[in-house]
Each structure stands twice: as C-alpha cells, then as structure tokens.
C-alpha cells in the first residue's frame, strides 16, 4: 500500500485528453485521461476544482499532478489531482479564451450594444484604486483639458480575489446614483494575474448591463481584457481614457473662433450677393413701365368690382320677389285671412275649442266670436238648427 500512498507526478503527452467529464452536485470533478492506447480515471475534489481558472472540457489536453490511488470498490487505479494545467495555453490564457468565446457567442461584444460617448460630459464617474497611479493620471489630465467638470470616484480593489465583486458592485452603484454621463473603469499595467479582475465574468456582465457609457482603460496598450471587449469604448491606458472622455478646452475655443470667422465671411458674402440681386431687380423695375402695369390692374379691379355689385343687386332682387310670393301663399292659407271677408271664428271659453256645429255648444255657454279687428264675448241664449227649429241643450 505504500506505493499508492506516495506522491507521484503523472504527466501525460500532448495527445492525452479529457473525456467523460462530469461535475455532480457535490462540486467534485470526475473524468478520464486518455491517449491512443490507454485511459485512467481521475478526480479533482471541490476545493481545488473551485480554484481552477479555466473550464475543464472534453477534448482538451492537460497536465495533471496528483496522487495515484486505488478505487477499492472496483479495484481501479485513479489519480486524485492536486494541480492541473492546460497543455499549450496557460491556465489563465485558456480561461480568457473560453470566457471570450462564451460572451461573444451571447452577443455581449456586438457593436449594436455599444452606447455613444457624450461629447462634453458634465459628470464623470471613475472606478479604480484610490491609491494607484491611474487615478492621479486621470484627474491631472481631465483638469488640464477641461477643468469645470464634476468627477465622482468609487475606490475599489483592482487585483486580488475580492476585486471582481468590488468592481461589479461599483458599476451597479454608479448606475443607481444617477446623473453620471460616463464611467471610466481601469488600472495601470501589470501581469496577466494583476489584470485578471477585469477578465472576470461578473465584471463583464455588469459592464454590459450598465445604462451609463463605459470606457475601459486597463493596463498598457498591448494589454487586452474581457472588459475591453464589453465596454462601449476601449482606451489603451488610463491617461488615454482621460483624453478621450473630455475635449480640450483650448482646442474647443480655437474651433469656435474658426467657426465664428467662417460665419462672418459667409454672412458678408451673403449680404453682398443679396445687395447685388436687389440692384439688378431695381434696374429691371426702372426699365419697365410700372405705371402702365398699375393702370391695367386698377381697371381690372374696377371691372371685377362692378360685376360683383351687379351680381349682388340681382341676387337681392330675386330673393325679395321670392319672399313676397311665399308670404302671399302663407297669407292665403291662413285661417285668419277669411276674417277680412266678414267671416268669424267661434270658440268656447275657456277651452278655446272651435265650435263647428250646434252640437258643440249648449245654452248658457260663454263663447268668443273672433272678427277681423277683434273678438266678441257672448252667452248662448238660443240654438237654432238649419231647419229653423229651436234646440234646447
């Protein structure tokens, strides 16, 4: 048993690759290492598995260091790993490439998601170390180029295990604060390990979710991080980010002076052109007989006015005649018109119901007799029919 309890280095050739990889709920990694002729079971327990920078995948070649043991239930040899490295790329570089492909496939790097940077921001947020050279460079350059802007600094760790979480939370906090026009996140140069916080997936997703445009300024010009690909703009250095984020006030003043000069020149040219056009028009007007044109239009106006008056007079006359005919017809149809010929209208009092027959009245009834120029109020003393007989009712 002493053979299996001894530490061994199990180094595989470049043809050896991972297969049958599984990671159950326990968090342990189980897989086989195989080459063209053989294979062996391997396990990496959770404490180490959580610290592996890259993602183990079927088909990749690795260098595994571990302890050779026997899995007693089946009597199989297996390697319990305590260190794992990819063959070819380093672990960090492989992790970088894997995350880059994953986020790229999800569309986090697509150009249509990039937000434009404001031309002249009033409020700028900076997420970096409070003690590093990056913040000093950023503040110095911004104040030199355009000093009347507000700068809000959110200090974070820019390397170490806690850095990714701090950077991601700082981006979220800056978005919650509101009022910021643009954010700069970054740090000075360093090794890939020093810059690794800006390759963390949590940082990349926070940058993508930000509603504020973000400039990534990590390391030197040759350094590229995942944050650079997700950000709305990549600056090669923190100093370059400061130059990008605000215009140079001196350059702006010079540009405005040039614009003002061009405007004056254009205005003078336009005025001169207009003056020339007016002079040409005046010359043409003098050469034409304006008085003849005025006389012609006056005569035309007089003719149109006469026609309008004549038309209105005829229209009023026709309307008046039509109204007279209509009134005559109305008077002829009016029951009051017969009163002019000596007829009368008899109605009961007080109902005002007309009396059309002797049967509509009784002795003693009070009646109204309407004549052409007034009414008579009468009492019925006697009712006589057409036959001359008297009726008592």
Interval 300-311 mean pLDDT: 86
pTM: predicted TM-score of the whole model, two decimal places: 0.51
Q: Is the pLDDT of residue 2 over 50?
A: no
Instruction: Please give the Cα distance from 187 to 217 (Å, whole number).
Output: 7
Of 72-76, 146-150, 229-233, 360-364, where does the model show the most confidence?
A: 229-233
* Contact indicator for 68, 77 with CB cutoff of 8 Å: yes
* Contact indicator for 39, 17 with CB cutoff of 8 Å: no
Interval 84-95 mean pLDDT: 69
Of 28-37, 224-233, 292-301, where does the model show the most confidence?
A: 224-233
CA atoms within 13 A of residue 390's CA, in its CB half-sphere: 5
Indicate the burial class of 246 (C-beta count within 10 angstroms; 0-12, 13-18, 19 or more): buried
Rg of the chain taking only CA atoms, in angstroms:
53
Name every residue whose Cβ is closer than 8 Å to that of residue 231 and which is 6 or more positions away in sequence: 185, 207, 214, 215, 216
SS (H, E, C) 135-158: HHHHHHHHHHHCCCCEEEEEECCC
CATH number 3.40.50.261 given to 109-247: yes
How far CA 146 is from CA of 137, 139, 213, 247, 275, in Å, comes to 14, 11, 19, 7, 43
The span from the first CA to the last CA of the chain, in angstroms, equals 150
Q: What is the pLDDT of residue 3?
A: 37
Q: Where are the beta strands (DSSP E) in the chain?
A: 7-10, 17-22, 29-34, 39-44, 62-71, 76-86, 123-128, 150-155, 182-187, 214-218, 233-234, 345-348, 366-371, 374-379, 383-384, 390-391
Q: Is the pLDDT of residue 23 over 80?
A: yes
Q: In 3-state terms, what secondary structure has residue 318? A: helix
Q: Tell me which DSSP letter residue 44 carries.
A: E
The β-bridge partners of 346 are: 369
pLDDT-above-90 percentage for the chain: 24
CATH class held by domain 7-88? mainly beta
pLDDT tens digits along 230-241: 999 999 999 999
Interval 121-131 mean pLDDT: 92
pLDDT tens digits along 177-189: 989 999 999 998 8
CB atoms within 10 A of CB 212: 19
Q: What is the pLDDT of residue 169?
A: 96
Q: Confidence band (pLDDT; 50, 70, 90) for 336? A: low
Q: Is the pLDDT of residue 68 over 50?
A: yes
Average pLDDT, the chain: 82
- Name residue, tokens 């002829």: 332
Q: What is the pLDDT of residue 235?
A: 92
Instruction: Please give the Cα distance from 390 to 393 (Å, whole number).
Output: 10
């Amino acid at each position: 048993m002493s053979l299996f309890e001894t530490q061994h280095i199990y180094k595989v050739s470049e043809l050896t690759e991972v297969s049958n990889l599984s990671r159950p709920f326990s968090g342990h990694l189980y897989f086989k290492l195989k080459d063209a002729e053989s294979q062996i079971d391997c396990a990496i327990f959770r404490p180490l598995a959580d610290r592996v920078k890259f993602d183990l995948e079927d088909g990749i070649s690795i260098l595994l260091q571990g302890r050779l043991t026997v899995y007693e239930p089946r009597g199989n040899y297996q390697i319990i790993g305590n260190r794992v490295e990819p063959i070819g790329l380093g672990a960090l570089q492989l992790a970088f490439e894997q995350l880059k492909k994953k986020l790229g496939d999800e569309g986090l790097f697509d150009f249509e998601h990039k937000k434009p940077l404001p031309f002249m921001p009033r409020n700028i947020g900076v997420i970096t170390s409070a003690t590093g050279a990056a913040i000093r460079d950023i503040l110095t350059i911004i104040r030199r180029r355009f000093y009347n802007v507000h700068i809000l600094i959110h200090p974070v760790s820019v390397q170490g295990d806690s850095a990714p979480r701090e950077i991601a939370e700082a981006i979220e906090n800056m978005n919650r604060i509101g009022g910021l026009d643009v954010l700069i996140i970054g740090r000075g140069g360093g090794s890939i390990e020093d810059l690794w916080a800006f390759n963390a997936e949590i940082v990349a997703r926070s940058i993508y979710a930000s509603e504020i445009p973000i400039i990534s300024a990590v390391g030197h010009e040759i350094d590229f991080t995942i944050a650079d690909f997700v950000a709305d703009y990549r600056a090669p250095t923190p100093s370059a980010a400061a130059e990008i984020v605000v215009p140079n006030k001196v350059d702006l003043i010079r540009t405005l002076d040039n614009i003002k000069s061009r405007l004056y020149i254009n205005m003078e040219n336009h005025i001169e052109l207009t003056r020339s056009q007016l002079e040409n028009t005046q010359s043409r007007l003098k050469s034409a007989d304006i008085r003849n044109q005025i006389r012609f239009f006056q005569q035309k106006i007089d003719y149109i006015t006469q026609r309008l008056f004549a038309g209105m007079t005829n229209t009023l006359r026709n309307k008046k005649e039509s109204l007279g005919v209509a009134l005559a017809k109305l008077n002829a149809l009016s029951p009051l018109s017969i009163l002019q010929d000596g007829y009368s209208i008899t109605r009961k009092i007080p109902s005002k119901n007309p009396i059309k027959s002797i049967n509509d009245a009784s002795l003693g009834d009070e009646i109204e007799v309407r004549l052409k120029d007034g009414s008579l109020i009468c009492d019925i003393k006697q009712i006589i029919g057409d036959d001359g007989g008297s009726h008592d009712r």
